[in-house]
Chain A
Amino acid sequence: AQSVTQLDSQVPVFEEAPVELRCNYSSSVSVYLFWYVQYPNQGLQLLLKYLSGSTLVKGINGFEAEFNKSQTSFHLRKPSVHISDTAEYFCAVSVGITGGGNKLTFGTGTQLKVEL
């Protein structure tokens, strides 16, 4: 079975500073990787996904992530954060040929708090 680890439960950062949210996964088979954002009392919005191909994935709102197979990581980065980026971020993994259409296993989430 696959699992996802988000080591940082909270990440405070000043506005316009860069940020990296860490995600590591474990799986015995090939995986598909996702980052979702959740604003308070709302559902999840897909930021970006890695299915195959280029290991550097660009998503919405200026976020990007890099798939590193040797380190089993999929860290999320943004070069300059905005106050509106304050939210909970979830890393997720899925296995199988249908990718995210299969069951998603989520990490415990990282609360990004952008301060002025």
Chain B
Amino acid sequence: GAVVSQHPSRVICKSGTSVKIECRSLDFQATTMFWYRQFPKQSLMLMATSNEGSKATYEQGVEKDKFLINHASLTLSTLTVTSAHPEDSSFYICSARVKAGGYNEQFFGPGTRLTVL
């Protein structure tokens, strides 16, 4: 099946530093990946849509300069949280879109827990 990995699974950083999270499609190519953010005991909120070879599309209210997204290849998208602050602490989940049986479906990664001290 379609497998999506994320690295790291957990990261702790100091306030003011930048953190990069990788999202990889392991056994398929994904022209489109999505980045979600999930606060404790809350739902997933779409942050941005990442398209290979072009700029990401951000949802309303998401700071483009703070959450940098790069989709440099068909199997890798990265999310960089710049100048992280404690309020950026969250669970970040990516998904990759793949065509399965004539239908486009999203497959989700296992998530990355970011803690900013």
Contact = CB atoms under 8 A, between A and B. Distances in A.
B interface residue count range (under 10 / 10 to 19 / 20 to 34 / 35 or more): 20 to 34
Interface stretch (B40-48, B69-77, B82-90): B40-48
B113 A43 contact: no
B110 A99 contact: no
Contact of B105 (A42, A101, A103): A101
Nearest to B101: A51
Contacts, number: 59
Interface string A34-48: 001000011111100
B114 interface: no
Nearest to A9: B41
Overall SS of chain B's interface: strand
A102 interface: yes
A interface residue count range (under 10 / 10 to 19 / 20 to 34 / 35 or more): 20 to 34
22 contacts: A41-B91, A43-B110, A44-B44, A46-B105, A90-B44, A98-B104, A99-B104, A99-B105, A100-B104, A100-B105, A101-B97, A101-B103, A101-B105, A101-B106, A104-B34, A105-B46, A106-B44, A107-B43, A108-B42, A108-B43, A109-B41, A111-B41
